[in-house]
Chain A
Amino acid sequence: MPLVKLAWRNLWAHRSKTLVIGGLLLVAIFLMVVGNAFLDSAMVGLRKSFVESFTGEVIIGGKAEGTPSLFGVLSGTGIEASPLVPSPERIAAYLKAQPEVKAFTTQVTGADQLNVEGNEAGGPFVFLFGIDAASYRSLFDNVSLLHGNDLTPGQEGILLSQTQVDRMKKELGASVSVGDKILLQDFGNAIRQVTLRGIFQSKQSNQALELVAYVDPVTLRALSGISGGSSFVATDAASTSLLGATQPDELFQATSIVAASSKPTSSKKLAQLLGTRTTASEADANVWNFFIVTLNNPADAPRFIEQTNAWFASQGIPAVAEDWQKAAGPFAEVPLMIRMVFSLAVFLLTIVALIVIVNTLVASIGERTSEIGTMRALGAKKRFVWGLLFTETLLVCVIFGLAGMALASGFIGFLGAVGVPASNPLLQLLFGGATLHPAVPLSVLVSSFVLVVVVAIVAHVYPVALALRVQPIRAVQTRTE
């Protein structure tokens, strides 16, 4: 009679204990598979939503103290301005030479408030993506234009989402339409006026996209004080002294230009003044915060990032390549944090399950002392006793673990078929869209099964150690059948 049969009979004979252990395992595995399936599916949706909308598989930015993202550098104090990407010509040449690279584009990033002429209060907050109109849309066909036209190369202008237009109406009482002038006001009170060229709706439901407006890069560079300065030539002493300013807006704080006026300068006047900056901005045409790269095979991303960072190091270029999660910044952090919390919960649940299983097994060993002693007296080696008890534990773990996995797979299969609607923006962010169709990836099943086996191995160690201490003489010291 094989060991498995004997183990099975023992489990059946001690049904109540078997059910306690098995039931606990079943619930733990069910929760683990369902939770992981949800999180994995959400991450797939989230990844697709971000990668196809605006992060690509890889971003390249300048090195910073914090973690660069397309929305700014995440640091302990919040989001800070992104550094410029160094040596853009060399990086562009490098990217063009890589066979893995499908396409790439460039971007300037800023964060500002939307406003309209005559309104002094700040309007809705918006992330500004200063895009290279020639190459950006070929990578990210992510908006549907409701009104107006897309940005075109060399043309100043901004695209706002319908949500942003609605918020301007609500918060500023301003109805804006295509052709109107929009004021962009950064938090250092720099202001630029720009023409609304189009109103769009995001093709994918993504909370991050609702906060993004697309603007021509010249305007954004000027607004954010970004300057490469490579071909800007000062022609007189006054201009040269002005170049000492680190922020363009210092130009307007200087007494020689505007301090003569005792009245507050209107944004319109400032906008008129800023028109004189156009020449300098054109000189910064190749100054960017990011390269955004899509790959022929998305699975190559980790290797490509490693290879690219190695190239930066070898070339002494202070740039860094990051994946889409880093690119998405705070918007990908929430799901990742939820995954961490969930993983912690699974870990704690596993510990609790282990404790219960170990206690139940120890109690069982206590009840089976005579049986074990009899086996030892009849000539069972310690290896046999260990094998029997391990087989029992493994059987419980595998049977109930598989049952838990099957139930969870069925449950997720059902939810995958009907879809789980995201009823609020947080869920939309977590689900990476309006509806989540969860699926159980093979990796989740495999990792769950491995966990089951590990639990079985860990759980049996102490009870088996107790069992192996049972001496054959216990066979004659206790009563059995």
Chain B
Amino acid sequence: MGIVQLTDVKKVYPLGKTEVQAVRGVSFTIEKGDFISIAGPSGSGKTTILNLIGCIDTPTSGSVRIGDKTTGLLKDSVLTTLRHEALGFIFQSFNLIPVLNVYENVEFPLLLGDNKLSKKETKEWIDSLIEDVGLTAWKTHRPNELSGGQRQRVAIARALVTKPLIVLADEPTANLDSATGEAIIELMKKINLQSKTTFIFSTHDSKIVGIADHVVRLQDGLVTSEERRERSHASR
């Protein structure tokens, strides 16, 4: 059984008097440690799939299972706990908290639950994450003092701070230039290999898709192909 399992998932959004079928019956499984790309053109349903896996949206029908939990059956408070404990998020627009500096943004998810680490351990852990994403020199800077790539690195560190099973990244390179985007994906891949954290990212950039070891391609809300590659040579 995979760490994430989607079974005949459909998602319909109301749009005025009509309905939009964003996802029209999608099924696939993600294994622990996967570095998976949900690929497809705009409007293919990538973001909807990520939102459903990230427990920030629920399917109209079908089921989304994270570990042993079927998300559609859970209450809001349980979903919140699941998001906090099992999932990390990297947003296309970074979504850093503007009033917090780099260190504080990375620390923020730890404030939302029971942090079992001591103060010293917490500081060492956050510092190590900031170092991993190459922002040690910037850790007291606020988001508005950082470049797009730097902001996304902060978002990566923040996504990892709670040691989640899965990190979800919705078009993490969309707002970055291609070189920076590739560097961000390389960084995510490196962390994936080191920590065995499952990374699920959506993209429409074929160059970035190439780095994934598991690719699910979507078109008009349906899976058009699914491809698994050798994990060991994922890095270019």
User: Number of residue pairs across A and B with beta carbons under 8 Å?
Assistant: 89
Q: Are A379 and B170 in contact (CB under 8 A)?
A: no
Interfacial residues of chain A within 1-16, with CB under 8 A of chain B in the complex? 1, 3, 6, 9-10, 12-13
Q: Are A1 and B100 in contact (CB under 8 A)?
A: yes
Most B Cβ at <10 Å: residue of A374, A376, A379, A473: A379
Q: Are B99 and A480 in contact (CB under 8 A)?
A: no
CB distance from A476 to the nearest CB of B (A): 6
Contact of B137 with A by CB under 8 A: no
Contact of B8 with A by CB under 8 A: no
Q: Are A10 and B99 in contact (CB under 8 A)?
A: yes
Q: Are A1 and B107 in contact (CB under 8 A)?
A: yes
Asked, given contacts A473-B51, A473-B56, A476-B56, whether A370 binds B95 with beta carbons under 8 Å apart, the answer is: yes
Cα-based distance from A12 to B99 in the complex (angstroms):
9
Partner of A380, one of B93, B95, B100, B112: B112
Contact of A384 with B by CB under 8 A: yes
Q: Are A475 and B80 in contact (CB under 8 A)?
A: no
Q: Are A481 and B94 in contact (CB under 8 A)?
A: yes
Q: Are A6 and B99 in contact (CB under 8 A)?
A: yes
Contact of B32 with A by CB under 8 A: no
Contact with A along B87-118 (1 / 0, CB 8 A): 00101111111111000100111011100000
Partner of A378, one of B76, B81, B89, B99: B89
Partner of A374, one of B81, B84, B95, B162: B95
Cα-based distance from A374 to B94 in the complex (angstroms):
10
Q: Are B89 and A377 in contact (CB under 8 A)?
A: yes
Contact of A381 with B by CB under 8 A: yes
Asked, given contacts A10-B99, A481-B96, whether A476 binds B91 with beta carbons under 8 Å apart, the answer is: yes
Cα-based distance from A334 to B97 in the complex (angstroms):
57
- Number of A residues, CB within 8 Å of B: 28
Q: Are B99 and A475 in contact (CB under 8 A)?
A: no
Interfacial residues of chain B within 134-167, with CB under 8 A of chain A in the complex? 143-144, 151, 158, 162
Q: Nearest residue in A to B113 (C-beta to C-beta)?
A: A379
Partner of B98, one of A378, A471, A475, A480: A480
Contact with B along A469-481 (1 / 0, CB 8 A): 0011101101111
Q: Nearest residue in B to A383 (C-beta to C-beta)?
A: B77
Q: Nearest residue in A to B94 (C-beta to C-beta)?
A: A481
Q: Are B83 and A9 in contact (CB under 8 A)?
A: no
Contacts of A481 in B (CB 8 A): 93-98, 143-144, 151
Contacts of B170 in A (CB 8 A): 476
Contacts of A13 in B (CB 8 A): 98-99
Most B Cβ at <10 Å: residue of A382, A473, A476, A480: A476
Cα-based distance from A272 to B218 in the complex (angstroms):
122
Contact of B203 with A by CB under 8 A: no
- Number of B residues, CB within 8 Å of A: 37
Q: Are B56 and A379 in contact (CB under 8 A)?
A: no
Cα-based distance from A192 to B113 in the complex (angstroms):
90
Contacts of B77 in A (CB 8 A): 381-382
Contact with B along A19-44 (1 / 0, CB 8 A): 00000000000000000000000000
Contacts of A375 in B (CB 8 A): 97, 112
Contact of B54 with A by CB under 8 A: yes
CB distance from B200 to the nearest CB of A (A): 14
Cα-based distance from A379 to B81 in the complex (angstroms):
6
Cα-based distance from A382 to B111 in the complex (angstroms):
14
Q: Are A480 and B95 in contact (CB under 8 A)?
A: yes
CB distance from B155 to the nearest CB of A (A): 10
Contact of A371 with B by CB under 8 A: yes
Q: Nearest residue in B to A381 (C-beta to C-beta)?
A: B80
Q: Nearest residue in B to A475 (C-beta to C-beta)?
A: B95
Q: Are A379 and B100 in contact (CB under 8 A)?
A: no
Partner of A379, one of B80, B94, B143, B151: B80
Contact of B127 with A by CB under 8 A: no
Cα-based distance from A370 to B98 in the complex (angstroms):
11
Contacts of B143 in A (CB 8 A): 481
Contact of B182 with A by CB under 8 A: no
Cα-based distance from A261 to B108 in the complex (angstroms):
106
Contacts of B99 in A (CB 8 A): 6, 9-10, 12-13
Partner of B54, one of A370, A377, A478: A377
CB distance from B83 to the nearest CB of A (A): 5
Contact of B47 with A by CB under 8 A: yes
Q: Can you list 17 pairs linking A and B with CB atoms under 8 Å apart?
A: A1-B100, A1-B104, A371-B97, A374-B97, A375-B97, A378-B83, A378-B112, A379-B80, A379-B84, A379-B113, A382-B76, A382-B80, A473-B56, A476-B47, A476-B170, A480-B93, A481-B94
Q: Told that A378-B112, A481-B95 touch, could you supply 14 new A-B pairs with CB distance under 8 A?
A: A6-B99, A6-B100, A10-B99, A12-B99, A374-B95, A376-B80, A379-B85, A381-B81, A381-B112, A473-B51, A473-B56, A476-B47, A480-B95, A481-B144
Please list the 7 inter-chain residue pairs (A to B) with the smallest Cβ-Cβ separation, ordered nearest first.
A379-B84, A9-B99, A481-B143, A472-B56, A374-B95, A479-B93, A481-B96
